[in-house]
Amino acid sequence: MTKIPFKAVAVDMDGTFMNDDLTYDHERFDKVLTKLHEHHIHFIVSSGRPLSRLQRDFADFLDRIDMIADNGAILVRDNNIISTHFFTYSTGMALINYVEEHFPEAHICISGKDRAYLKESYPTDFKRLMRFYYPNYIAVKDFGEIPASERIIKLTLNCPAEYAEELEAGFNEKHTERIHCTTSGFDDIDVMPYGVNKAQGLKYFLRYFHLTPNQLIAFGDGMNDKEMLELAGYSYAMSNGNPEIIKLAKYKAPSNNESGVLKVLEAYLDQK
């Protein structure tokens, strides 16, 4: 049997591991995960989704996977948080005010450590979508109701993705605690503390496992996967992915709706 060239797997969720109906084949994944573990290969979910959502997505596998949630802000090993990154409360609130002033059409979901916040006045469709990703969100009349004890991890904005560069540059010009904006390409923007991304989270895990980036295989479809794919020795863009990501990656996987991640992994695991 040909030696498998990687020792860690990193997968994005939406548009990559998950089908468009927001599901995946649990039985098939169980078989792949079992084979990966037989070869001492780590499986790392690397997603913009919050931890509470990922814990539901992988409820049957939490003791067999590692997780990078909120685009790198929270790292989880053995279902325990081992690293976190937050805005200071003052910067988080300044950021919220900046978005509301300069991008008033944007709907904002604020991800905290244990819960999320959005406004009661937002459209029902937006609240329904956020309920899926942030099942424990609280609807408030005003974001000033967010308690000072809250740790603000990121902002998710429902607005045109092209606003990301303008928002990042405008806020950073006036504040010493800088931000970084990224997008998955679905008319949304994730606003993170500067330097927080999936690749930084993966570097942490690679050091923990005594591995190098050349021993990492990664799968993604959107611009929030850019740093992760640049890091990985074996980078796969989904065939349904952003054209820029497809150009950046070394290889192309079948689409998310074809279970492309599992197909590629099965091919490596079953090679003779």
Residue carrying structure tokens 């079953």: 270
| pLDDT computed for residue 227 by the predictor | 95
Whether the model clears a pTM of 0.95, i.e. scores above it, the answer is: no
| pLDDT computed for residue 1 by the predictor | 54
Domain ranges, ordered by start, for the chain: 8-84+197-270, 89-193
| pLDDT computed for residue 73 by the predictor | 93
Q: Phi then psi for 62, rounded to 5 degrees?
A: -60, -25
Q: Phi then psi for 221, rounded to 5 degrees?
A: -135, -20
Tokens of 189: 């923007």
Report how far residue 133's alpha carbon sits from residue 127's, in angstroms, rounded to the nearest whole number. Answer: 10
CATH of segment(s) 89-193: 3.30.1240.10
Report how far residue 239's alpha carbon sits from residue 249's, in angstroms, rounded to the nearest whole number. Answer: 11
What does the pLDDT profile of the chain (272 residues) look like in tens digits? 578 999 999 999 999 999 999 999 999 999 999 999 999 999 999 999 999 999 999 999 999 999 999 999 999 998 999 999 999 999 999 999 999 999 999 999 999 987 899 999 999 999 998 999 998 899 999 999 999 999 999 999 999 988 999 999 999 999 999 999 988 666 889 999 999 999 999 999 999 999 999 999 999 999 999 999 999 999 999 999 999 999 999 999 999 999 999 999 999 999 74
| pLDDT computed for residue 271 by the predictor | 77
**Which of 222, 153, 229 is closest to 182 using CA atoms?**
222
| pLDDT computed for residue 102 by the predictor | 96
Beta bridge partners of 191: 155, 181
Q: Phi then psi for 26, rounded to 5 degrees?
A: -65, -40
Fold of 8-84+197-270: Rossmann fold (3.40.50)
Beta bridge partners of 219: 11, 236
Report how far residue 92's alpha carbon sits from residue 87's, in angstroms, rounded to the nearest whole number. Answer: 6
Residue carrying structure tokens 């469709």: 125
| pLDDT computed for residue 177 by the predictor | 95
Tokens of 1: 């049997």
Tokens of 54: 């990922």
Q: Three-state SS string across the chain, please?
A: CCCCCCCEEEECHHHHHCCCCCCCCHHHHHHHHHHHHHCCCEEEEECCCCHHHHHHHCCCCCCCCEEEEHHHCEEEECCEEEEECCCCHHHHHHHHHHHHHHCCCCEEEEEECCCEEEECCCCHHHHHHHHHHCCCCEEECCHHHCCCCCCEEEEEEECCCCHHHHHHHHHHHHCCCCEEEECCCCCEEEEEECCCCHHHHHHHHHHHCCCCHHHEEEEECCHHHHHHHHHCCEEEEECCCCHHHHHHCCEEECCHHHCHHHHHHHHHHHCC
Report how far residue 171's alpha carbon sits from residue 144's, in angstroms, rounded to the nearest whole number. Answer: 19
